[in-house]
Amino acid sequence: MQVSYQWLKDYVEIDITPQELAEKLTLAGLAVDVVKELGAEIEKVVTGRLLKIERHPNADKLVVCTVDVGQEEPLQIVTGATNVKEGQVVPVALEGAKLAGGLQIKRSKLRGVESRGMLCSGQELGMETKLLSPDMAHGILILPEDVPIGLDAKEVLGLTDWVLELDLTPNRGDALNMIGVARDVAAILKKELKIPVPKIVEGEERTEELAKVDILDADLCRRYVARVVKGVKIGPSPIWLQNRLRAAGVRPISNIVDVTNYVMLELGQPLHAFDYDKLAEHHIIVRRAQKDEKLVSLDGVERTLQPDMLAITDAAGAVAVAGVMGGLDSEVTDSTVNVLIEAAYFHPISVRRTSKALGLRSESSMRFEKGIDINGCLRAANRAAELMQQLAGGTIAAGAIDNFPNPITEKTIQLRPSRVNWMLGLEVPRQDIVEIMQRLQFRVQEQGEDLLVTVPTFRPDITGEWDLVEEVARLYGYNRIPETLPTGNTTQGSRTDEQQLKWDIRKVMTGCGFYEVVTYSFVHPRIFDLMNLPADSKFRNVIKLQNPLSEEQSVMRTVLVPSLLEVLQRNVNRRVQNGAVFEIARVFYPVEGQPLPEEVPVLAAVAIGSTPKTWNQAARPMDFFFIKGVAEQLLASLGVVDATFSRHQDPSFHPGRCAKIEVKGELLGVLGELHPNVIENYDLPGRAVAMKLDLNQLVATHRPVKQYQGLTKFPEVERDLAVLVKQEVAAGEMLSIIEKAGGNLLKAVDIFDVYQGTQVPEGFKSVAFSMKFQASDRTLTDEEINDKMQRIIKSLTAQTGAELRK
């Protein structure tokens, strides 16, 4: 919210500087981010009239102007502007003038012709081009013809003002207007608030005879006020009104439209002006939109409305989106003669949802979203009618249509001074509390030791006693509240099991050389082709965004690996050949009949190239065994037991180098080397390996609590075993058999050699195991160990056909 200091003084007497006012407002809860002086750099710029314009004798794109600036003799000024005409009043920079950006004006010659000054554009006077009309945005600023010449242009253009930019909290919708801010200023400075009272001269025709208003959905529109002004003349607004709108960041358009914006900024009530003659049967109907109902909004875009949106319609169809934007077909144009003024109250949530769904956010929608004063609609309509009559002529129809199905009464809240002092830790005198409430225009009644405070409807954010305590605190002074240490019971913060699991995963993955990344949840539909997924893959069933920023981010992802591959692809393009990244994020699966998707947390990791070379270890390729080792390290660190790895087929992975991870028959994840087609699609060098784990399954299987076990004092015994087994027998299967047959005495088993070649029959392989046996209560005997070894050999032979290698 941009607040003009000079405009604010119309409503309250201010005897302090803008900087001092900004400090007081900030201390009272209305934070002021910036205090900006308009025209701070501008000097010696006056108003002048163009008496004569002649062609430059030596330049086709320049003209020579004779300008009357109220001095004894007119000035000769050369300009290249194309929008100047004889008789216009323009700002003129005299010799020695200073303009925005530090530009200084001196007498000069342009292509042989003397120029004694410069005609100024709005940009050269420090004005924002977006706040100027299209013809003046990049040309000379044209002033109204009735502006006297020789005046200080800063005074005429309102550039002697200060603008305070407020950073309001969402609950203070009442401060999104000049009166709302002035109310707080009056309360802070203990001054009288002066609110303008509309004075209307009405004609003989009555509004009820000229128009009709029906509210079909009163739950979304609780009040609708309409007034009619006939015989208006459309034209530019007076300079004072244009200056105030620009100070507030609004571009002037025409007198009628500018009045609606002015009243919105003044009173906080958004208004809309319809061309009365373009409304079918002059009948306003407020209803929910029909499915796929069309409307071309004021910005020229065709909008498709849905039944959950509120529309303003006439007898023929939609003419506006309630609280968001008007329609192009009923807008006020230069040919408009009769105007219908709308001042209504629309449900905040409905306006916010509609604005978001249509991608439209306006000054009006912002105010409706935060809540306006429902009892201020008629006052705003009267104020607008008064100003339209003053600035555009015409006749105001008698009376107003005020469709108010369920009038709202002001709420009364009990305020206990003792409660105020207890909550603030202060001793605020009772009379001070009463005066603060009254200065905020709250009515107060005594009820024994307590107070009954009646809250006006312009403060919808005040709902309970605690809100009134906050009002006392901010006006009595936050800086007067003493510093105290917190008291009461404290609770030590801790992570949930899921949070701790993610934290542990990050530690393990980074310890294995992976970098964590964060990627977008929105992806391109082509990733499924890049990942080699078949047409009937369940992962192709995605949720499409209704208003995607681009095709690159048009659907919600169902797989996470492609996002990581894009990260590595960008690194490879920048000559980073080695890389290992992981991400913990959610994927989204649509649920039939449900508006929201199923969100599944997953862990994905991708690696390319080779591991870094260290002083005691050579670099090794990031192959299948590397990613399997990472998975084993992760599962072991998380206390996941009984995890098995077995061959698996996945279209995104290499057909012979892919494994699934299962725990007690439940699929935990998939890992392996990516399919050559996927690697080629992402233009990656060499091999790439990936892993994806379902975190929901991981939460269900991991053991977060580690149990302490004392170190045994008895020695361990190592034994090796080499067997011949068919090639198709999985090593993981053999490890499981050995662990089960070894029982509690077998503490560890590892594979240290796999051999195929000479001395090994064709179709077979030699697998060698290293085993460690140990007991916690005794030293093992040879007989016990031999017995375990025989059990292991018999189990391997019976279940895999393995033979002891001799």
For 339, list phi and psi in degrees, rounded to 5. -130, 140
Q: DSSP characters for 774-805?
A: --SSSPPPHHHHHHHHHHHHHHHHHHH--EE-
Using H for helix, E for strand and C for coil, what is the string for 373-440?
CHHHHHHHHHHHHHHHHHHHCCEEEECCEEECCCCCCCEEEEECHHHHHHHHCCCCCHHHHHHHHHHC
- Tokens representing 363? 């000054």
Contact in structure between 28 and 22 (CB atoms under 8 Å): no
**Kind and range of the H or E run holding 599:** strand 598-608
DSSP SS3 for 224 = strand
- Tokens representing 193? 């608030």
Q: Is 470 annotated as a binding residue?
A: yes
CA gap 376, 27 in Å, rounded: 28
Q: DSSP characters for 701-735?
A: H---SPPP-PPPSSPPEEEEEEEEEETTS-HHHHH
CA angle 641, 643, 648 (to 5 degrees): 175
Q: Is 782 annotated as a binding residue?
A: no
Q: DSSP characters for 77-131?
A: EEE--SS--TT-EEEEEEEEEE-GGG-B---EEETTEEE-SEE-BTGGGT--GGG
DSSP 29: T
CA gap 69, 45 in Å, rounded: 10
In residues, how long is the chain? 806
Residue 537 class from Cβ within 10 Å (0-12 exposed, 13-18 middle, 19+ buried)?
middle
**Residue 117, phi-psi category: left (phi > 0), alpha (psi -120 to 50), beta (remainder):** left
Q: Is 498 annotated as a binding residue?
A: no
CA gap 786, 800 in Å, rounded: 21
Residue written as tokens 């009923």?
A: 330
Q: Is 566 annotated as a binding residue?
A: no
Q: Which of 91, 6, 9 is nearest to 50 (CA)?
A: 91
CA angle 391, 392, 397 (to 5 degrees): 110
Query: Residues annotated as binding site for Mg(2+)?
Result: 461, 467, 470-471
Query: Residues annotated as binding site?
Result: 461, 467, 470-471
